[in-house]
Structure 1
Amino acid sequence: MSQTFTYDVFSSLDGYASTSEHWGGYWGKQGPELLARRLAIYSEPCLLILGAATYRLFAHFLATEPPDSEVFDPWVSAMLSQPMLVISTSLHEPLDLPNARLERGDATEVVARLREESSVPLRSHGSIRMNRALLNAGLVDIVQLTVFPALTGASGSDRIFAEVGDFDLELLDARLLDSRTQELSYRPTPHP
């Protein structure tokens, strides 16, 4: 039985995954409903798939942020407690994150194999470049986009869907969290 692969990503309203300016995590817009929803998502068993850049970012934050930082929100701890596979040709073991193991190879080949072999759903948070390739290869079953109410046209970086082909999106679920943040889940289908 093939497992689903969910591309889970945070975005400003104008489609950026991060900013070059200091807005703070969640663009300063986190609230109790968002944090509870994230904890519920990552309390369910999954295999977390990360690319090298996102792995390095997580490892850096965990090593350098103070204990009261939002980096240690309960949902992040739940996410990092899941079994984790980091797909990279540049990293070397041992990895610094708990439950992380390294897989060398092409992400599309690794994820195609894991979809057939895994006993739990696959989920990736962030990992923009890797997930663009997986989306273009038809390996993403669900795009879960959490849209924060911020425009970052002057400071935004990492356009989420740059270099992605044309896709029709079937809305599977829509939630308004804390009366301002939207979580949208879509099934992507290549546009003919």
Structure 2
Amino acid sequence: MARIIVSENITLDGVSTDPTGEEGTTHGGWFTRIDDADRAAWAAAEEDEAMHVDAVLMGRRSYDYFAPRWADRPGSWAERFNSLPKYVLTSSPDPLAWRNSTAVSGDLTEVAAKLKQEVDGDIVVYASGSLIPTLIKHDLVDELRLIVFPVLAGAGRAMLADSGSIRPLRLIESHPIGTNLTHVTYRPA
């Protein structure tokens, strides 16, 4: 049986939206506020994670963001990310051109529960702000991995705040990434 792992980059005040500023929000661009050494350490941590997961679950907007940025990117991280099975929750009839992508539709909780039964290993959810709160509300997330950026966005959506009721978590691991980032891993208590 697979585990569903949510892996997110967030600000210190919990914002996950518009990290690169491409959406044009007032709080956007917080991801770019780190130095080159921290960015390299972040990339190494993300690559390591990609090497140890077995599939990706994402929504259509996340697919539309990631696919053009990764499909032709060189390097071992991109090769691994491109080779992973990607399950895209979508109702759009538009085809999925990114290698190893499969459209899935229907109720997210049913889709996720089915994937947990059918996939061996870990299924990671990156970004996908509309999926994550629903997965958490229905107790389908087995692990939260957060990379906390030393930035206060001051505004923006904190997707983990939309998870319904109080959900106690247990700290599994915490360590620095580079000089200024913190990686924390939690599991349901």
Change (3 A) 1:27 1:169: farther
Q: Tell me the C-alpha RMSD between the 2 structures.
A: 2.3
In structure 2, the CA distance between the partners of 1:111 and 1:35, relative to structure 1 (3 Å rule), is: same
Q: Partners of 1:110 and 1:50 in 2: how far apart?
A: 11
Deviations 1:132-160 (A, max 9, x none): 1011100000011111111111xx43322
Deviation at 1:62, TM superposition (A): 5.0
Please say which of residues 91-100 and 8-17 is displaced more in the overlay. Answer: 91-100
Provide the C-alpha distance between the structure 2 equivalents of 1:73 and 1:126, rounded to a whole number of angstroms.
22
Equivalent residue number for residue 82 of structure 1: 84
Q: Which moved more, 1:173-182 or 1:76-85?
A: 76-85
Unpaired runs of 5+ residues, structure 1, are none
Task: Give CA deviations for 1:10-33 in whole Å, capped at 9, x if unaligned.
Answer: 101111112325527454454322
Which whole-Å CA distance do the structure 2 matches of 1:23 and 1:48 have between them? 25
The 5 Å alignment of 1:121-136 reads 121-136=122-137
**Structure with a larger share of its residues in strand:** 1
- Contact 1:11/1:160 (8 A) holds in 2: no
Structure 2 match to 1:150? 151
Q: Secondary structure of the equivalent of 1:42? A: helix
Q: What is the SS of the residue equivalent to 1:161?
A: helix
For 1:59, the aligned partner's letter is: A
**Aligned partners of 1:176, 1:86: CA distance in 2, in Å?**
31
Q: Is the 8 A contact 1:7 1:131 kept in 2?
A: yes
- Name which of structure 1's ranges 74-83 and 11-20 shifts more when overlaid on structure 2: 74-83
Secondary structure in structure 1 of the residue aligned to 2:184: strand
Secondary structure of the corresponding residue to residue 6 of structure 1: strand
Partner-residue secondary structure (3-state), 2:161: coil
SS at match of 1:17: coil
Aligned twin of 2:21: none
Q: Residue 171 of structure 1 aligns to which amino acid in structure 2?
A: L
Any gaps of 5 or more consecutive residues in structure 2? 19-24
Q: Which residue of 1 aligns with 2:40?
A: 32
| Shift in CA distance, 150/74, structure 1 to aligned 2, threshold 3 Å | farther
CA contact (8 A) 1:92 1:102 kept: no
Alpha-carbon distance in 1 for matches of 2:61, 2:80: 20
AA aligned opposite 2:145: Q
Is residue 47–residue 83 contact of structure 1 (8 Å, CA) maintained in 2? yes
Structure 2 counterpart of 1:78, which letter?
A: R
Identity of aligned residues (%): 23
Q: TM-score, normalised by structure 1?
A: 0.82
One-letter identity of the residue aligned with 1:86: V
DSSP 3-state at the match of 1:55: helix
